Amino acid sequence: MKVAAVQVDVKIGEVEQNLAQTIELIGETRSAGAELTIFPECALTGYCYSDLNEARQFAQNIPGPATDLIVKALQEFGGYAIFGMLEPSPEGVYNVAVLAGPNGVIGVYRKIHLPGLGVDQFATFGDRPFEVYDLGEIKVGIGICYDSAFPESIRIMAIQGADLIALPTNFPTGAEQMTKFVMNTRSMENKVYFAAVNRVGEERGFRFIGETVITDPTGNTISKGSGKDEEILYFDVDPEKSRNKRIDRVPGKHAIDRLADRRPEMYEKLTEPHSLPRPGRDD
């Protein structure tokens, strides 16, 4: 399947403008043959809100006006899209990534790991498990930005059969090591494709570093975006390469399978609750 990763600038609070840009770019990527188009985190809303009351103004129900317009565009153009926005929660807002197609909203992922930055400082923690979606040719798992710093997140989706991990991001200055090393590692250790789709530009004193990175199941970089320019990166996902987890380095003598070789009975500590304080958050 041909996939497009769209690295763009986003205008905070300008939902209509961001939405129009998203729809226009879906048309462009579909013209280039992409079956799936992935946009950055909070691509419809912007990210660096100063408080919860401000962010609430730009959250929309899903399905709702914004997702309805994107579904309508997909009915015209075909294909699928993953894009970030804000969704109302009982306590305020969720930071979400939406997967939509011509028949409507397919899935909504609510960000589970929240850093002390931007809207995540007061967003509601995601309350749904990681999920993998079957798009016919490939299966796609979805995380958002900081989730990639937790290897458990990606491993769960690999176990569920993901061929591609789509990660809408807002990596700011200081996160360069993520685009240099982490995505490659997550791909290699799970034998999956990985698309960390970042934004560019500045928002309320924060600069976003771009460097959208696409990696293959060997952990090699397929393509990488610039640090400042808006651009579209295209790549192909071959599910045969992601689904065969066995690696025979020396036939008959050296074989590994990083999913089959797991020892989950030894990992109990990973699921124990903790009481460590979270930077930038009171909860």
**What amino acid positions are annotated as catalytic residues?**
41, 111, 145
Cβ contact 159:128 at 8 Å: no
141 DSSP β-pair partners: 132, 165
Q: CA-to-CA distance for 59 and 103, rounded, in angstroms?
A: 23
Lookup: tokens for 185: 């590692």
Tracing tokens 């048309």 back to the chain, one arrives at 27
Residue holding tokens 């771009």?
210
- Look up residue 218 and give its DSSP letter: T
Q: Please state whether the peptide bond connecting residue 63 to the residue before it is cis, i.e. omega within 30 degrees of 0.
A: yes
The most distant pair of C-alpha atoms in the chain lies apart, rounded to whole Å, by 62
Which residues are CB-contacts of 209 (< 8 A; sequence separation ≥ 6)? 171, 172, 173, 175, 176, 179, 198, 200, 227
Helix (H) and strand (E) counts for the chain? 7, 16
Q: What is the DSSP letter of 125?
A: P
Distances (CA, A) of 179 to 60, 159, 172: 30, 23, 11
Gap between the Cα atoms of 243 and 74, Å rounded: 28
